[in-house]
Amino acid sequence: MAYIIRRIILFVVTMATVSLITFSVFQVMPGDPIRIMLGTEADETQVETLKKQLGLDQPLHIQYMDWVKGLVTGDLGDSIRFSRPVTELLADRLPVTISLALITLIIVVIVAIPLGIFVAKRQNKLSDVVFSSVTQLGMAVPSFWLGMLLILYLGMNFSFFTISGYVPWTQSVVGALGALLLPALTIAIPQIAVKFRYVRNAILEQLRLDYVRTIRSKGITEKFVMYKHVLRNSMIPILTVFGLITAEVVAGTIIVEQVFSLPGIGQLLITSISYRDFPLVQGIVMYITFVVVFINFIVDILYSVLDPRIRLN
C-alpha cells in the first residue's frame, strides 16, 4: 500500500512539473503570442479583446492556476483557429488515434513475443549477428519513410488497403482495418525489430537459472519448461518493455498519421502548430503526456502486483 501511495505522489508531482514546463515554455516564447496569432494588421482593440478572452491580462501565476484548474476539471480551453473547446476537438480525433495505437500494440505483442521465444531457442553466433543487425536497422529506419515504402509495395498492390484517409468503424469494419493496418505496421515493424530481443534476453536469463536445470532433470518436456515456468518468470522484464512501447507507439502515431493522412490527434497537433494555435498545442501536449505518464503509472502498479519484491525496495 505504501508503495502505491508513493507511486501516486510521484505521478501527481510529475504531472504538476509537466504542466509547469508546458505552461512556461509558451511564456518564454520570443514575441507576443497574440500578435503572432492575429497577424501584423491587427489593431490595439482586437489585441486587447483577445487578451481578455484568453485571460492573458492576468498576472502569470493566476494564469497558470486558472489553466491548471481547467486541466483538472477537463477544460483545456478553446482553440483559436477552430473556435471550439480543445476537449471537443480531441474527442473528435480520439477514435482514430486510439484504434491505430491499439492495433499497433496488438501486432507488436503477437509478433514480438513468439519471435523472441523462437529466437531464444536457437541461439548461436551467426543468429546473434543477424538479429542484432535487424535490431540496429529497425532503430535506424525513419518510420515515415517505412510508411512510404509500405504504401509503395503493399498499398499500391492490394486494393484492401486505403493509403490515404480514414474510414470510421461504424461505417465499415473492413474499411477501417484497410485504412489502419498499414499505418499500424509502419509503427509496429521497428518496434518488433527492437523489442523481440528484450523478450529473447529475458528468456535466456531465466534459462540459465538453477530451477530450470532442476525441472529439466526431472524429465519435464521442453515445451512445459518453456511455457509453464520460463515464460511466466520472464513476464516481468517483458512487461517493463511493453510499458515503454506504449509511450513510443503513442508518439509514433503522430508522425505516421501524417504519412497516411489519418485525421487523428497527431494531425491535429501538426495543424495547430502550423496555425500557431497555442491553446490547442498546449492542450494536446498536456493530454498526450498525461496519457503516457498514466500508462507508465499503471504499469508500475501492475509490476508490484506481479512481483511483490518490487514493493519492498
Partner 1 sequence: MKTLMSHGKNINLIVGLLILSAFLLLMLLSFFYTPHDINAMNVANKLRGPSSEYWFGTDEFGRDIFSRIMKGTQTAFFVGALTVSIGVVFGTLIGGIAGYVGGWVDEVFMRIMDSFMAFPGIILALMLVAVFGPGIVNTSIALGLMAIPSIARIARSGFIQHKEFEYVMAAKLIGVKPFKIMFRHILPNVSSPLIVAASISFAVAMLAEAALSYLGLGVQPPDPSWGRMLKDSQAYLTSSPWYTYAPGISITLMVLGFYMLSNAIRDIMDPRSN
The residue (of 233 and 261) whose beta carbon lies closer to partner 1 is: 261
> Exactly one of 25, 65, 91, 130 binds partner 1 (CB under 8 A); which one?
25
Query: All 3 cell numbers of residue 221?
Result: 518436456
Contact 268, 93 (CB under 8 A): yes
Tell me what percent of the chain is helix, strand and coil, each rounded to the nearest 5. 80, 0, 20
According to CB under 8 A, which residues from 199 to 228 bind partner 1?
none
Cβ atoms of 23 and 15 closer than 8 Å: no
Q: Which three cell numbers mark 120?
A: 531464444
CA–CA dist 177, 194 (Å, integer): 25
Q: Torsion angle, CA of 146/149/151/154, rounded to 10 degrees?
A: -110
Q: 130 or 173: whose CB is closer to partner 1?
A: 130
- Regarding 102 and contact with partner 1 (CB under 8 A), the answer is no
Residue 91 interacts with partner 1 (CB under 8 A): yes or no: no
Please tell me whether residue 14 binds partner 1 under the rule CB under 8 A.
yes
| Closer residue to partner 1, CB minimum distance, 25 or 310 | 25
Residue type, position 253, single letter: T
- Smallest distance, partner 1 to C-beta of residue 202, A: 17
The one among 29, 91, 306, 310 contacting partner 1 by CB under 8 A: 29
Q: Which of 103, 193, 259, 262 binds partner 1 (CB under 8 A)?
A: 259
Least Å distance, CB 211 to partner 1, is: 25
Which 3 state secondary structure label does DSSP give 78?
strand
Cell of 258: 501524417
Which residues, other chains included, contact 125 with Cβ-Cβ below 8 Å and sequence gap of 6+?
Answer: none
Count of helices and strands (H, E) across the chain: 14, 0
Question: Which of these segments, 89-97, 114-122, 175-183, 282-290, binds partner 1 (CB under 8 A)?
Answer: 282-290
Cell of residue 6, nine digits: 508513493
Give the residue from 206, 210, 214, 195 showing the smallest Cα distance to 235: 206
Q: Judged by CB under 8 A, which of 12, 72, 91, 152 binds partner 1?
A: 152
CA distance linking residue 147 with residue 72, whole number of Å: 37
Question: Of 50 and 293, which has the nearer Cβ to partner 1?
Answer: 293
Q: Residue 297 CB, nearest distance to partner 1 (Å)?
A: 10
Of these, 51, 81, 276, 311, which contacts partner 1 (CB under 8 A)?
A: 276
Stretch near partner 1 under the rule CB under 8 A, chosen from 16-24, 98-106, 110-118, 302-310 = 16-24
Q: Which residues bind partner 1 (CB under 8 A)?
A: 13-14, 17-18, 20-22, 25-26, 28-30, 129, 136-137, 139-145, 148-149, 151-152, 156, 247-248, 250-251, 254-255, 258-259, 269-270, 273-274, 276, 278, 281, 285, 288-289, 292-293
